[in-house]
């Protein structure tokens, strides 16, 4: 029987529907490559160029720059005889060993086989030349490192002898200034147009009016440079700090050296990573030990026990500082076995004053001395131009007056403030200093110190230290000094201000800056 054409069409249509259904049921979905990539793995493209900036650039030469950003970058290009570890011990660099041969003389033995970035050899001649030239650069930030050097003698190609004018404790800490090439500068000024060479991990490959390019020094003597992820460093030069901050905000540079205060003001709330570290800016109270009230040790001790340093660092200064107890950087290896606890103890302070004959009456501590009633009523001098210290002084006043010690804040002009420091005619002053990296404490306890403090035992120990190089013996001496310090309280340490490294969100690596160098662990840095 023949099918009619209409029925044939219906059959064909049904068959097509069935075939299509089977296909849809059995077909495999095609793999979305983009989606699969995201699910299965993520590739990280490592960018080997690091972008940085320098504002108010003066010179790349380390002996004539006064710019801290330049000084940090110069640490990648130039090297010193000795370097500083994370816990502020002295370590080798261009020198392989050193020794103190008498009170005023050092022998320095240099590493052999070190090359300048023009492939010439580093020798004793370079060291002598560097010191002799630096002694003439009285405006250099490194001049202080060499001013006590009387002479430099070349013993042989890799040995020098340094003679000092005066015996100096921890003189080796001065040997952290950059060494420059005798061959390059023997007949040249430092501000010449020639590109300076160093012995460091990176060398200057290009320099013009608005940019400096550094490239990895593949001839550097240590395998560390072979493992470094950063092959080139591009450094933009800005004529103002604000422009550098703006460039960071726009993503044109990857990393910026700043302070906690400046970061908040200029960077704002944009997304960035940061690493905060203690600066060398140390704020403290100097108590005049010759004052008619502060001459009594128990009064100084009580003041120290009542001031809440943790509160000052926290709520008063918004955690932009780190509490400090001693006039030595907190991470110093010499403080490792010394307690830095700063907890208040008003009960003990009260007990201490009462046991010394002081009575709390009419809201103030008082005592009859030689027939006259004396009250603990103290003037606190602070510079009115330092708003942070004014805020701290106000908090100190509040805490001490709640305990019964009257504080009169004297906000003075900078000229008056400096006059107070020179004459030492204050009762108590809130001041600060830029801490040395060396652990020398002579400036705190020696002649003409800010507290008019005299203790022959402390001076004796400090003099002993001048001749000690053994670490264990040094620690014993510092423990002794700070035991006396804690008991006598000539000063009250408050805090170290913070610096920080801010970096873009695509920046990677373990950033470990400190106040000597921001480039610790640099071989592991990279961005993606």
Q: What is the domain partition of the chain in residue ranges?
A: 79-190, 278-498
Q: Where are the beta strands (DSSP E) in 250-335?
A: 255-259, 273-287, 321-323
This prediction has a pTM of 0.87
In DSSP terms, 212 is beta-bridged to: 207, 235
**What is the C-alpha separation between 190 and 182, in angstroms, rounded?**
12
The first and second tokens of residue 22, run together, are: 């089977």
Longest CA pairwise span in the chain (Å): 144
**Cα separation of 94 and 73, whole Å?**
18
d(CA 69, CA 499): 13
Contact 424, 452 (CB under 8 A): yes
Sign, CA dihedral 452-457-462-463, equals: positive
Specify the fold of 79-190.
Answer: Dipeptide-binding Protein; domain 1 (3.90.76)
Among 225, 208, 235, which Cα is nearest to 117's?
Answer: 225
- Do the beta carbons of residue 151 and residue 163 sit within 8 Å? yes
Over the range 479-491, which residues count as b (16 or more CB within 10 Å of their CB) and which as e?
A: eebbeebeebbbb
Instruction: Take residue 91 and report the two structure tokens written for it.
Output: 């370590």
DSSP result, 5-74: HHHHHHHHHHHHHHHHHHHHHHPPPPP-HHHHHHHH------B-EEEEEEES---SSTTT---HHHHHHH
Per-residue model confidence as pLDDT tens for the chain (528 residues): 444 444 544 444 444 444 444 444 444 343 343 333 343 344 456 788 999 999 999 999 999 999 999 999 999 999 999 999 999 999 999 999 999 999 899 999 999 999 999 999 999 999 999 999 999 999 999 999 999 999 999 999 999 999 999 989 899 999 999 999 999 999 888 876 679 999 999 999 999 999 999 999 988 887 667 778 899 999 999 999 999 999 999 999 999 998 877 877 777 767 888 899 999 999 999 999 999 999 999 999 999 999 999 999 999 999 999 999 999 999 999 999 898 888 899 999 999 999 999 999 999 999 999 899 999 999 999 999 999 999 999 999 999 999 999 999 999 999 999 999 999 999 999 999 999 999 999 889 999 999 999 999 999 999 999 888 889 999 999 999 999 999 999 999 999 999 999 998 888 878 889 889 999 888 888 877
Q: What local confidence, expressed as pLDDT, does residue 507 receive?
A: 82
The answer to whether domain 278-498 has CATH 3.40.50.1820 is no
Question: What pLDDT, on the 0 to 100 scale, is given for residue 55?
Answer: 96
In whole angstroms, what is the distance from residue 238 CA to residue 255 CA?
Answer: 14
Token duo for residue 451: 């507290």
């Amino acid at each position: 029987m023949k099918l009619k054409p209409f029925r044939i069409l219906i059959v064909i249509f049904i068959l097509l529907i069935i075939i299509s259904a089977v296909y849809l049921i059995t077909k495999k979905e095609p793999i979305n490559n983009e989606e699969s990539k995201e699910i299965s793995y993520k590739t990280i493209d490592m960018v080997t160029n690091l972008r940085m900036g320098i504002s108010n650039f003066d010179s790349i030469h380390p002996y004539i720059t006064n710019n801290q950003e330049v000084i940090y970058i110069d640490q990648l290009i130039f090297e010193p005889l000795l370097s500083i570890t994370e816990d502020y011990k002295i370590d080798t660099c261009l020198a392989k060993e050193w020794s103190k041969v008498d009170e005023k003389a050092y022998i320095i033995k240099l590493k052999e086989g070190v090359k300048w970035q023009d492939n010439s050899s580093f020798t004793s001649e370079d060291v002598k030349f560097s010191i002799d030239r630096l002694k003439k650069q009285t405006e250099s930030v490194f001049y202080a490192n060499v001013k006590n050097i009387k002479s430099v003698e070349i013993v042989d190609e890799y040995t020098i002898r340094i003679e000092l004018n005066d015996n100096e404790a921890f003189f080796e800490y001065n040997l952290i200034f950059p060494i420059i090439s005798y061959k390059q500068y023997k007949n040249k000024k430092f501000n010449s147009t020639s590109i300076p060479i160093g012995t460091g991990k990176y060398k200057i490959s290009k320099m013009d009016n608005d940019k400096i390019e550094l490239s990895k020094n593949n001839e550097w003597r240590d395998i560390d440079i072979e493992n470094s992820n950063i092959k080139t460093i591009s450094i933009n030069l800005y004529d103002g700090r604000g422009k550098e901050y703006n460039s960071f905000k726009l993503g044109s540079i990857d990393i910026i050296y700043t302070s906690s205060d400046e970061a908040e003001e200029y960077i704002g709330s944009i997304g960035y990573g940061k690493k905060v570290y203690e600066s060398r800016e140390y704020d403290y109270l100097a108590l005049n030990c010759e004052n008619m009230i502060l001459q009594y040790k128990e009064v100084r001790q009580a003041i120290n026990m009542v001031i809440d340093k943790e509160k000052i660092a926290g709520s008063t200064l918004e955690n932009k500082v780190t509490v400090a107890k001693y006039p030595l950087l907190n991470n110093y290896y010499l403080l490792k076995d010394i307690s830095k606890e700063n907890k208040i103890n008003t009960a003990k302070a009260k007990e201490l004053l009462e046991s010394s004959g002081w009575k709390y009456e009419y809201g103030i501590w008082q005592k009859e001395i030689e027939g006259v009633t004396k009250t603990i009523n103290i003037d606190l001098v602070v510079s009115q131009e330092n708003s942070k210290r004014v805020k701290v002084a106000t908090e100190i006043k509040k805490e001490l007056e709640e305990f019964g010690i009257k504080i009169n804040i004297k906000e003075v002009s900078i000229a008056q403030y400096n006059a107070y420091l020179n004459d030492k005619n204050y009762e108590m002053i809130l001041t600060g200093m830029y801490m040395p990296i060396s652990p020398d404490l002579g400036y705190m306890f020696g002649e003409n110190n800010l507290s008019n403090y005299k203790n022959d035992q402390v001076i004796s120990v400090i003099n002993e230290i001048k001749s000690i190089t053994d670490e264990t013996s040094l620690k014993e001496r510092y423990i002794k000094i700070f035991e006396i310090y804690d008991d006598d309280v000539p000063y009250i340490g408050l805090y170290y201000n913070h610096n920080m490294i801010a970096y873009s969100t695509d920046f990677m690596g373990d950033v470990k800056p400190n106040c000597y160098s921001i480039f610790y662990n640099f071989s592991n840095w990279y961005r993606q």
